[in-house]
Amino acid sequence: MEKGEASLRSRLYDPVAIHAAGSFLEDAMQRFWLNFLRLFFRLLYNEFAWSYDLVAWLVSLGRWKAWGRTALHHCRGTQVLELGHGPGHLLVTLRKRGYDPVGVDLSVNMGRRARRRLDSAGLSVPLVRARAQTLPFRDEYFDTVVATFPTEFVIDHRTLREVTRTLRADGRLVVALGARFEGEGLIASFLTWLYRVTGQAAPCPSAFEPSLREVGLSPRAVCERVGQTTILLVVAEKD
Ligand SMILES: C[S@@+](CC[C@H](N)C(=O)[O-])C[C@H]1O[C@@H](n2cnc3c(N)ncnc32)[C@H](O)[C@@H]1O
């Protein structure tokens, strides 16, 4: 056997090399899947924002708006900042219930959709296109900062520092982290699986706790029932 051939064979049949090749493939697949998901959600919040409500309706079996409204049970005061307002359903409800909400979202298309929704309801709510990580508001302005089903911007330390800065001394952050299907049916099992593989499963609220405490927020986990689903929320008071 030629020297080069022997070394090739030993590389091909060496269990360590096979394992390394396997994990390389696994890593590559995982990277591909993560990049695909990133692209999918970027498109859903931007170019395909028009399809967001339909997608949200389908993956919640029609309960998306009711899921978001669970956050309202924990809002206090009147000045409420909604981070990542999306198509603006919660802003409409907040305004109708007498709050003075302000909406922030990074997506121009979501801003347009929310504006249209508010206009057609005859409601006036300031909408700001900004990153949650750099909020263009003065210190200690809001009674409540709320975010429903936010993307990872909500666990970014810069966002949490901005939340603490813009909250009043006795203000609070309310985050609807995600939903769990309690039923055993085929659709509930499918959606649970779908949420898991797309990284949308509700994170454990306790995983969020150290980051919140670090910026001076004292969190507690809250569960709310909506039909056969449970919404996991975190309510964090400014220390
Ligand atoms: C999953 S959607 C949730 C929308 C809405 N809250 C709801 O319950 O349907 C996330 C929203 O956050 C916005 N977003 C993503 N990153 C952001 C950031 N860094 N700052 C502000 N908004 C952001 C997206 O444009 C999108 O509208």
Instruction: Give the domain ranges of the chain.
Output: 2-45, 52-238
**Ligand 1 mean position, distance from CA 19 (Å):** 40
- Do 66 and 226 form a contact (C-beta atoms < 8 A)? yes
Q: Is the pLDDT of residue 8 over 70?
A: no
pTM: 0.88
pLDDT, tens only, 197-221? 888 887 777 888 999 999 999 999 9
Joined together, the tokens standing for residue 34 give: 């993560």
pLDDT bracket for residue 188 (50, 70, 90): confident
Cβ < 6 A, ligand 1 pocket: 45, 56, 68, 83-86, 104-107, 110, 131-133, 148-151, 153
What pLDDT score does 4 carry? 47
Which class does domain 52-238 fall in? Answer: alpha beta
* Cβ neighbours of residue 2 closer than 8 Å, sequence gap 6 or more: none
Mean pLDDT of the chain: 91
Cα(8)–Cα(165) distance, integer angstroms: 60
Residue 203 to residues 24, 77, 148, 210: CA-CA distances in angstroms? 27, 28, 13, 14
Q: What is the reported pLDDT for 19?
A: 65
**Ligand 1 geometric centre to CA of 153 (Å):** 8
Q: Whose CA is nearest to atom 5 of ligand 1?
A: 86
Sheet containing 142-148: give its strands across: 127-129, 100-105, 79-83, 142-148, 167-181, 229-238, 217-226
Lowest mean pLDDT segment, chosen from 15-24, 56-65, 128-137, 162-171: 15-24
Question: pLDDT tens digits for 99-153?
Answer: 999 999 999 999 999 999 999 999 999 999 999 999 999 999 999 999 999 999 9
Nearest-5° angle of CA 97, CA 99, CA 102? 125
Centre of ligand 1 to C-alpha 97, Å, is: 22
Q: Which residues contact 73 (CB under 8 A, 6 or more apart)?
A: 224
**Distance between CA atoms of 109 and 65, rounded to whole angstroms?**
19
CA of 68 relative to ligand 1 center, distance in Å:
13
What number of CA atoms fall less than 13 Å from residue 63's CA on the CB side? Answer: 18
Q: Predicted confidence band at 1 (pLDDT cuts at 50, 70, 90)?
A: very low
Strand partners, 144: 80, 172
Q: Whose CA is nearest to atom 11 of ligand 1?
A: 84
